[in-house]
Amino acid sequence: MYGPLAGADFPTLAWMRASRKVERERPPRLEYADPRGDLALRRALQSYLARARGISCDLDQLLIVSGSQQALDLCARVLVDPGDRVVVEDPGYRMAHHVFRAYGARLHGIAVDSQGLRTDDLARVRTAVMACVTPTHQFPLGAFLSMPRRRSLLQWAAQTGAWILEDDYDSEYRYAVQPEATLQSMDETGCVIYIGTFSKTLSPELRLGYMVIPSPAIELFTATKRLTDRHSSTHAQRTLALLLHEGTYDWHVRRIRRLQDARRTALLRALHLHLSDQVTVVGASSGLHLVAWAKTVPASREEELVAAAWREGVHVYPVSPLYLPQRDGTAASRPAGLILGYALLSPEQIDRGVKRLAAAILGLR
């Protein structure tokens, strides 16, 4: 994977202390919990989202889920009927594409550029039930959805009655960009469902994420959550609630952001040193990965390039599979694209890896 975290970055001692405290305070009755999530966690999360993301919401609008993938699944279960059209970014997050297709959706891909989703192309989409977007750090190309396009997207949703799924999967990692208003905070019609996760800041093994749902839909989503798994792990929820309440989580985010920024800087430096005339880099201002376009290698040889890199011991991933197959009209003209994740590596490992990647690219030439 291009997004695994280093085990050493996890706040082990803080988590163990909070976990032991939760265990000591175990209630006398062991029973099924509120499917919306632990009340203490929702209170702490409400405060965190207000100060970190500018999101104002009621406690009842918060739903704790088992990661962002369950959030996407719940949205598909509740909102999508077979044959419904769902707008997705192209290229975009393949696991979202899979879950929508699993419920019978017809995917309508909209191209992305340096400003994110091409909202001008939405004019011809009049019957979609929803649009799934990653506006803070477009996956995989890393663009920030510009404010005019955010307003345009919200206007389109208001006119068509479509929902917007705002997947804010790694917004904690902003390095060269200023904090931005979320679509949820700009929403005046109640069409935005906001999705967040702790998989990128703590660990995907915890399976903890959250949704901010417009009030009219919360009962339906709560009932669906109850039917799927009753509720997420209460012990993990209460442990995280303590970290949020005590400020430990905020401290951890500041710390890990500095660590990831150092890794990102090391990767950019290595790419400039070893491959400056061979690749064009996009999406490096935030997140935990970037995309390198190999200028001398055509997209038709992308898989070959990935295989060559793996033989050199460098795990990189192709961009092409993230395009909708029927829409990848750019494949004939664009260069090969590689997704480079850096969250797991030391600066020394990054430099060695880029040297080996350079050897793989030169070998194809």
Chain mean pLDDT for the chain: 94
Nearest alpha carbon to residue 71 among 62, 84, 82: 62
* Identity at 242, one-letter amino acid code: L
Nearest alpha carbon to residue 79 among 123, 126, 132: 132
Q: What is the pLDDT along the chain (365 residues), one digit of tens a residue?
A: 466 899 999 999 999 999 999 999 888 888 898 999 999 999 999 999 999 999 999 999 999 999 999 999 999 999 999 999 999 999 999 999 999 999 999 999 999 999 999 999 998 898 999 999 999 999 999 999 999 999 999 999 999 999 999 999 999 999 877 778 999 999 999 999 999 999 999 999 999 999 999 999 999 999 999 999 999 999 999 999 999 999 999 999 999 999 999 999 999 999 999 999 999 999 999 999 999 999 999 999 999 999 999 999 999 999 999 999 865 556 678 999 999 999 999 999 999 999 999 999 998 87
What is the structure's pLDDT at 328? Answer: 52
Alpha carbons 156 and 153: distance in angstroms, whole number: 5
Beta bridge mates, 107: 86
- Encode burial over 182-200: b for 16+ CB neighbours within 10 A, e otherwise: bbbbebeeebbbbbbbbbb
pTM (2 d.p.): 0.95
What is the structure's pLDDT at 137? Answer: 94
- Other C-beta atoms lying within 10 Å of the C-beta of residue 297: 22
Alpha carbons 120 and 188: distance in angstroms, whole number: 21
What is the structure's pLDDT at 31? Answer: 87
Alpha carbons 72 and 218: distance in angstroms, whole number: 15
What is the structure's pLDDT at 2? Answer: 64
What is the structure's pLDDT at 1? Answer: 47
How does pLDDT run across 252-263, given as a tens digit for each residue?
999 999 999 999
What is the structure's pLDDT at 342? Answer: 96
How does pLDDT run across 24-60, given as a tens digit for each residue?
988 888 889 899 999 999 999 999 999 999 999 999 9
Alpha carbons 81 and 262: distance in angstroms, whole number: 45
Place of tokens 């949205």: 75
Helix, strand counts (H, E) of the chain: 11, 12
